[in-house]
Amino acid sequence: KKSGDGARERGQAQEKLAKRVDAEGKLRHTMGKVHGSLARAGKVRGQTPKVEKQEKKKVPKGRAYKRLLYNRRFVNVVVGFGKKRGPNSNPT
């Protein structure tokens, strides 16, 4: 590398920076790119069939809800073999 190369590279970097600085000396953000085309936005959601919500029984509030959680976590535990499964896992 020659001794003048560093000065030239610094000059080019300062020119690029000068293009991004506005009149008040603040840095302007250059526009970013979008991943993928926006024409396909919402494609999967539009394809899925609409399923109506099911009626569910009322969830208890307050003390009763805490009681339900306690029973679910500590009273009705089934001790089995293997890895512990999460609360939302379904039997396979």
Please state, in angstroms and as integers, the Cα–Cα distance from residue 29 to each residue in 7, 20, 38, 61, following that order. 26, 7, 21, 49
Low-confidence winner among 32-36, 61-65, 68-72, 84-88 (lowest mean pLDDT): 32-36
Q: What is the pTM of this model?
A: 0.44
Q: Compute the mean pLDDT over every residue in the chain, rounded to the nearest whole number.
A: 81
Q: How far apart are CA 27 and CA 43, in angstroms?
A: 37
As given in the structure block, the two tokens for residue 25 are 């000396």
Q: Which residue did the predictor score with more confidence, 7 or 65?
A: 65
